[in-house]
Amino acid sequence: MKRGLLITSLMVLTFTAAAVFAQDRAGTSAAPELLIPVGAKYEATAGSANAFVTGVDAIYWNPAGLDMEKSTGGALFSYRQYIAGIGISYLAVGGRFGDLGSIAVSLRSFNIGTISVTTEDQPDGTGEQLNPTFFTGGITYSKRLTDRISIGATMNLIDESFGNVSGSAIGFDFGVQYENLVGINGLGLGVAVKNVGTEMKYGGSGLYVQATIPSAGIGLSYYKVEAASFQLPSVIDIGLGYKKSLDDNNSLEVMGTFENNNFGIDEYRVGADYGFMKTIDIRGGYLFSQTGGAFSSSAGNVSLFEGWSFGAGVDLTKLTGLGLSFEYAYVPARYFGANNLFDVHVAF
């Protein structure tokens, strides 16, 4: 217990020192797609379940939860209908390897579509089209230290490319989870530090520009535009939750998570999950930000996804014996159409 508390304290103190001036750096990070949540199961509760996420669903939210899963392994395929016609596909597979702990691999890709190339001389388009590729692949390790404490870490390879320009970086996520905190059955705590890693810098032949320098007597030539380096959008999530079995057929979870963003607005997430006969779950949540929303005195900038979300899940294990379940989440978005998320889970 003391070792777990020490790890958590160091994670929080280290990150807080770096995040003091976060709002002044809003919009200046690399790879903002790392902040787009995946998985309908926990997005339905507005991402508030940092203390309770388990299995391959936990890879994005808190890697410590990977080894908290009761089954020996699982797979997840998730699709998110994002804004502006962008689709996000996510695949994760993991399992427990005895006393070693649990290991999982994950893959996330973005279907952005085609973009017409425009130039200063041809603002209506050159006839050429680009197909941007955003890709993140990760490997996660999690270990349950005691019957109450689990730790985990993920290493992600982030790659972005469009046209003849590309950039890549390596990011790390670290997490800790506690069950039955301070001896209270059902009380959980989760802490995760995400997207800490190398800076991203673009390069490639697309950064070479044609130019003429008449005063120097030089004709048509090329020069390279030197791209700047930017840090990954690191965040820290601190979550607290309580779960209770009401009777043999009904259960309830209530939870909340605070997210400190190193490059933007801090967010607060609250949610609840009602379960019936370990087969059907009804979920809802609310996300509000530090400078806006019903719990703020300021009407300044707010999160794109501020507001209510909800969803449901059905576990078909009792009917099929295959460990199969389906999840759905509805997440409204400011200025855009709502996001719809669909998950397929398989436990084995």
List, in order of start, the domains of the chain with CATH numbers. 2-347 (2.40.160.40)
Other CB atoms within a 10 A radius of the CB of residue 79 amount to: 18
For residue 290, what pLDDT is reported? Answer: 67
For residue 216, what pLDDT is reported? Answer: 60
Chain Cα centroid distance, residue 288: 17
For residue 26, what pLDDT is reported? Answer: 64
For residue 39, what pLDDT is reported? Answer: 94
Q: Is 197 exposed, middle or buried (CB count within 10 Å of its CB: 0-12, 13-18, 19+)?
A: buried
For residue 1, what pLDDT is reported? Answer: 55
For residue 296, what pLDDT is reported? Answer: 45
pTM of the model: 0.88
- The answer to whether 267 and 287 have CB atoms below 8 angstroms apart is yes
Place of tokens 């991203």: 200
For residue 184, what pLDDT is reported? Answer: 93
The token duo for 112 is 């952005």
Chain Cα centroid distance, residue 157: 14
Other CB atoms within a 10 A radius of the CB of residue 86 amount to: 17
Q: What angle do CA 36, 38, 68 make, to 5 degrees?
A: 125
For residue 210, what pLDDT is reported? Answer: 78
Beta pairing partners, 143: 151
- The answer to whether 39 and 56 have CB atoms below 8 angstroms apart is no
pLDDT average per 10 residues of sequence, the chain (348 residues)? 54 48 65 94 96 96 96 95 94 96 97 88 87 95 95 97 93 96 93 96 88 65 86 94 95 96 89 96 92 46 86 92 93 92 95
- CA pair distance 307, 178, nearest whole angstrom: 28
